[in-house]
Chain A
């Protein structure tokens, strides 16, 4: 087979036109997506605020002696996307400490409360049989399971 074989190669204006078309399309798409993706990503970043989540939970590891497992609860509507996002972002921020949501677990000493607004944190702990250790600010509260001191 020769490379000039018209069965496997194409010459003349047609390949030039094909290359020009895909180049112009890619150029147009690049200009369009440059602004679009930045905007979409910024919206996503503002929505989940992962960097600030990492900062919010930063004092926990030292206050809990790096306990392998931490209890966790938040004040979002159960089963909602917001509750899922809060949980997942808290787990990212607190890893390698494992978060446990089962409040029946008696073997978990430290519990992290994740709140969207100031509340009566001590009372919330009392209801769950936990004592407040520290209000770490920004809605992050550390509890200890009652009697586990």
Chain B
């Protein structure tokens, strides 16, 4: 159980930082609490993992690096939180898009969520018992490399070009660092509890962040609908117990986008922009797809927020420097893509067919997530004017990046599509749902207005 302590400490440290940096936007106290807790998980786990790997790099032992990274981040966050008057005050209640009228029928969604969450938790326990070391990529890549990071004097094995098979020593180290840090506290690398709990928390955090982000900006019912659609997708259930880095990546990307949208509603608040930048850089340090998202979000924010984008960039810089140092100095070269494939247009057909097939296999008809989304579109309708539109741009660029990566892949295309397309769809699904429900009308109490001109006299 000691291996759980660093995960919980990192989460607590993240809460101090988020509470200090995040300006409130007039959301309800319940939404505020859930949002702070949800953002604290990726921010705390991500920041302490980055610090842990940096301390290993400078030569500290895993145990010292683990204790120092958690301790320093916790102490720093706690001190800031205390000095800034125990969290930031509320913004104006007039901040755009954050105030919502109540919707007394939200209990329908809460019951649906409670039942779905109970089934999901039960499934997590059962599957984690059946496969405590997770699925293929967990033991072949992420947790295997974590064993190197957590072993005294052996951390460079995690990035060794000698690593055999499909171990990908060139992949970034954030999620392996989260697991290795927990193992370093106990000195028991390979223990299945830490990666199981970290993976489960990342999945639960992803769902709760989707709920809380929309709850804060559009009301509880909008957040509930989005998270219920997410929980209707089979890939969310399939990969939650797998201990892969795809769900943590989705969590970092959603957190970065959510903070940026909240920042816009508060006149590009510097604290929220800084949180968004740091979280986007952590996505880049989780998987290479995160680098595409970081670049896309950075460009869009530069165009939208102008000078305020500087806060975002400054906050992203430290982890970006770690990424750059890793890619330039440590990671073995790996030619994952070949631009010459772009001339082969015939590759596009199987790529689009596979992505389409994965899309259709997100669930079972008639209770398919696509049907659920279509029902929401038809019954709620788009806000007029439909704003904000800009969050769609980085998500669309990320999707285009996936297609481009498949198009240029040096791996055998069919194998690559079969093994990765479903996971990529899972990464982007929460982002798409977040953007979509931001644009849909939010449910409120009251009778539907009668159509003008049809009222009986």
Contact = CB atoms under 8 A, between A and B. Distances in A.
Interface of A: 3-4, 6-34, 36-38, 40-42, 44-45, 48, 50-51, 54, 68-69, 72, 84-85, 87-89, 91-92, 95-96, 98-101
B132 A22 contact: no
A41 B384 contact: no
A18 B374 CA distance: 10
B234 to A, nearest CB: 6
Contacts of A22: 109, 112, 224-225, 228-229, 232, 372, 375-376
Nearest to B135: A44
B238 A27 contact: no
B164 A10 contact: no
A112 to B, nearest CB: 12
Given A22-B376, A33-B123, A95 B444 contact: no
Given A11-B448, A45-B130, 12 more contacts: A14-B379, A18-B379, A18-B380, A25-B371, A33-B119, A37-B127, A41-B130, A48-B136, A50-B131, A91-B165, A92-B139, A95-B147
Nearest to B371: A25
B446 A11 contact: yes
B157 interface: yes
Interface of B: 99-101, 103, 105-106, 108-109, 111-113, 115-116, 119-120, 122-123, 126-127, 130-133, 135-136, 139-140, 143-145, 147-148, 151, 154, 157, 160, 162-167, 189-190, 221, 224-225, 228-229, 231-234, 237-238, 241, 363-364, 367-369, 371-372, 375-376, 379-381, 383-385, 441-449
Contact of A37 (B162, B237, B381): B237
Contact of A8 (B143, B157, B369, B441): B441
B165 A87 contact: yes
Contacts of B225: 18-19, 22
Contacts of B381: 10
Contact of A92 (B111, B120, B144, B371): B144
20 contacts: A4-B446, A11-B449, A15-B443, A18-B379, A22-B372, A23-B111, A25-B228, A25-B369, A26-B112, A27-B112, A29-B234, A30-B119, A38-B123, A41-B127, A42-B127, A84-B165, A88-B144, A91-B164, A92-B140, A99-B164
Contacts of B126: 38
A84 B136 CA distance: 11
A24 B112 contact: yes
Contacts of B380: 10, 14-15, 18
A33 B228 contact: no
B162 A100 contact: yes
Residue picked from A15, A44, A84, A89, most chain B C-beta under 10 Å: A15
A32 B368 CA distance: 12
A63 to B, nearest CB: 18
Given A15-B105, A18-B379, A98-B163, A31 B119 contact: yes
A42 B441 CA distance: 42
Given A3-B101, A29-B231, A9 B148 contact: no
B101 A4 contact: yes
A40 B238 contact: yes
B232 A8 contact: no
B135 to A, nearest CB: 6
B116 A26 contact: yes
B30 to A, nearest CB: 18
B379 A15 contact: yes
A19 B105 contact: yes
A9 B442 contact: yes
Given A26-B231, A29-B231, A33-B234, A92 B143 contact: yes
A92 B229 CA distance: 36
Given A13-B448, A18-B376, A44-B135, A7 B384 contact: yes
A107 B326 CA distance: 28
A32 B139 contact: no
Contacts of A51: 132-133
Contact of A95 (B157, B375, B376): B157
Nearest to B381: A10
Contacts of B237: 33, 36-37
Given A11-B443, A22-B112, A54-B190, A34 B123 contact: yes
Residue picked from B140, B383, B385, most chain A C-beta under 10 Å: B140
Contacts of B160: 98
Nearest to A105: B162
Given A14-B379, A44-B131, A92-B140, A23 B228 contact: yes
A10 B381 CA distance: 8
Contact of B122 (A3, A19, A34, A48): A34
Contact of A29 (B133, B151, B232): B232
Contacts of A17: 375, 379
Given A23-B109, A92-B139, A100-B164, A30 B231 contact: yes
Contacts of A24: 112, 367
Contacts of B133: 50-51, 54, 92
Closest 9 CB pairs of A and B: A12-B448, A23-B112, A15-B443, A30-B119, A96-B151, A96-B154, A95-B147, A45-B131, A88-B140
A140 B309 CA distance: 57
Given A11-B448, A26-B112, A18 B232 contact: no
B188 to A, nearest CB: 12
Contacts of B233: 29
